[in-house]
Structure 1
Amino acid sequence: MRFARSALAAAALAAVSVGTTTALAGPASAAPNTTPQKVCGSAYKTVNSAPIGSLGTVYLTYNSSNGNNCVATIRNNPGTAVTMSAWIYIPDTEQGDEDYGQYTSYAGPTYVYGKGHCVDWGGHIRNVYVQVSGSNCGALKEQRVTFTR
């Protein structure tokens, strides 16, 4: 959880310092130009996802052959580069990965070995952030948080 909080804090601070205050809506005619499998790899199957407001979706994928999870954040309306992130963290092992920057279509991929572990993951587009904690680990109920900065 420390990684997730620090990743979100860093992303939020960077977004504020860059002055990311652009409008939330993009052109209605644009469509995503990629998929989680194109970002993470064809062996990765989508196991969870969370909308990032109306801006896009962050996807959690899993590769059963190597036990790795991958996260990708994909915009609904690709276009001019905006601040985006994708991150993943395994609390049990304290392993994580993150991608943060200015992107036109997607952020990621971020990879971590997650077989048999709960996963915390999330991402952001512009000023809308999503964090999912305790995900994909059986009986534990995941917690989702979406917020705007």
Structure 2
Amino acid sequence: MRLHRILRRASGLLAAAAMALGLLTFTGAGAASAATGGGAAALAAANVARTAGSCADTPTTNSLGGTQFEHSCTGGASGGPEYWCADFALWVWRNAGFYTGGLDASAASFLTYGQTNGTLHTSASYVPQPGDAVVYGSTQDSDIHHVGIVTAVNTNGSVTTANGDWGGDPNASTMAQFAVSSKVVSITLAAGQTAVGSVPTAVDPADGYVIKGYTTPAAAAPANPYTPTQVCGSGYTVIDTHDLGGAVVDLLYNASSGRNCVVTMVSQPSVAVPLDATLTVQGGATVDDPGSYTYYAGPVSAAAASACVKWGGTFRNTMWTSDWGHCG
């Protein structure tokens, strides 16, 4: 395994060098993309009045038929609901075709994303655009508290936004209680209150929400240059997959050797992130490959010609493991 990790990191360095020399023709995060700010704005607006999902007091599906926005119903304590304004904004950008590397369930990640990708606007003269994320801090502390999506820049100078996890029960005593009672709400920032540094009265004057910046989404990152069959080796075929939201866990089988193989593949790699791939043979041992990787975790493999297996993986803070299956 040590040799495998050394070789994998070496291959990653070679790939990076080739890209720098122009030998690879992937489309980078700053290049042209079919994704548009207008598309993101329309998708955000289409979900106004939707709730966190199947876990909500009033269950709804999102406009694409999903049962939650990213991990709005499952990202909290013990797999329950979480504050989901950033989940909503991330979901909008990802499904509109933009790069979402580095974003997570914290509103602050949208500020960091803008800094990392050179798309953060903190000048008071910046005019927000449809699809931008508007990031709020507070006049009462230095934290980042909320993020919404700009859905329209109006002719009168006002700006309309869609805000996930808004208007929850004010008496909620836990994150989950607030999350299941909130929804996506449209809020219009009045003309003269849209600039960075403004404290829009339409948002929440009691909390003193202040606009800390607008972040424009970056174009889609390169696709992963590796495939599960390349990683596991000749003779392996993908027999099952599970989406982790930003990465995919693949279970493969080699009929000649009777071995299973598991690999967790990052969908749009950019930087090293926490990953793992796991495989357990019923009645046997568990093999895994936890670490911080750019492209994939694994491969992990084991003989399982006549046994059931559990398989799974981790991407960032999302972990999944299957039930026993694929027996014999």
* TM-score of the superposed pair, with normalisation by structure 1: 0.71
Q: Alpha carbons of 1:100 and 1:27: their partners in 2 closer, same or farther (altered >3 Å)? A: farther
Q: Structure 1 residue 27: deviation in Å?
A: 5.9
Give the aligned partner of residue 127 of structure 1: 317
Whole-Å separation in 2 of the counterparts to 1:127 and 1:90: 25
SS at 1:135 equivalent: coil
Q: Structure 1 stretches of 5 or more lacking a match?
A: 1-21, 139-149
Give the aligned partner of residue 226 of structure 2: 34
Structure 2: which amino acid aligns with 1:51? D
Give the aligned partner of residue 103 of structure 2: 23
**Alignment partner for residue 63 of structure 1, among 250, 254, 277?**
254
**Alignment partner for residue 274 of structure 2, among 77, 83, 98?**
83
Whole-Å separation in 1 of the counterparts to 2:294 and 2:265: 9
Give the aligned partner of residue 118 of structure 1: 308
Whole-Å separation in 1 of the counterparts to 2:306 and 2:238: 17
Whole-Å separation in 1 of the counterparts to 2:243 and 2:307: 23
Structure with greater helix percent = 2
* Structure 1 position 74 matched with structure 2 position 259: no
**Alignment partner for residue 50 of structure 1, among 238, 242, 248?**
242
Cα pair 1:46 1:60 within 8 Å, conserved: yes
Whole-Å separation in 1 of the counterparts to 2:273 and 2:219: 14
1:33-76 Cα deviation digits (max 9, x unpaired):
111111100211001110112x1100000011111100000000
Number of aligned residue pairs: 115
Q: Alpha carbons of 1:112 and 1:27: their partners in 2 closer, same or farther (altered >3 Å)? A: farther
RMSD: 1.9
Q: Alpha carbons of 1:27 and 1:87: their partners in 2 closer, same or farther (altered >3 Å)? A: farther
Structure with greater strand percent = 1
Q: Which runs of 4+ in 1 moved over 6 A?
A: none
Whole-Å separation in 2 of the counterparts to 1:120 and 1:85: 14
Q: Structure 1 residue 126: deviation in Å?
A: 0.4
Whole-Å separation in 1 of the counterparts to 2:220 and 2:262: 25
Whole-Å separation in 2 of the counterparts to 1:134 and 1:117: 10
Cα pair 2:221 2:269 within 8 Å, conserved: no
Q: Structure 1 residue 96: deviation in Å?
A: 2.1
Cα pair 1:85 1:124 within 8 Å, conserved: yes
Structure 2: which amino acid aligns with 1:46? V
Structure 1: which amino acid aligns with 2:254? N
Whole-Å separation in 1 of the counterparts to 2:219 and 2:285: 37
Greater Cα shift, 26-35 or 72-81: 26-35
SS at 1:37 equivalent: helix
Q: Which has the higher contact order (CA 8 A, sep 6+)?
A: 1
Whole-Å separation in 1 of the counterparts to 2:219 and 2:249: 20
Q: Structure 1 residue 100: deviation in Å?
A: 0.6
Whole-Å separation in 1 of the counterparts to 2:272 and 2:311: 22
Q: Structure 2 stretches of 5 or more lacking a match?
A: 1-101, 105-112, 114-217
Cα pair 1:27 1:77 within 8 Å, conserved: no
* TM-score of the superposed pair, with normalisation by structure 2: 0.33
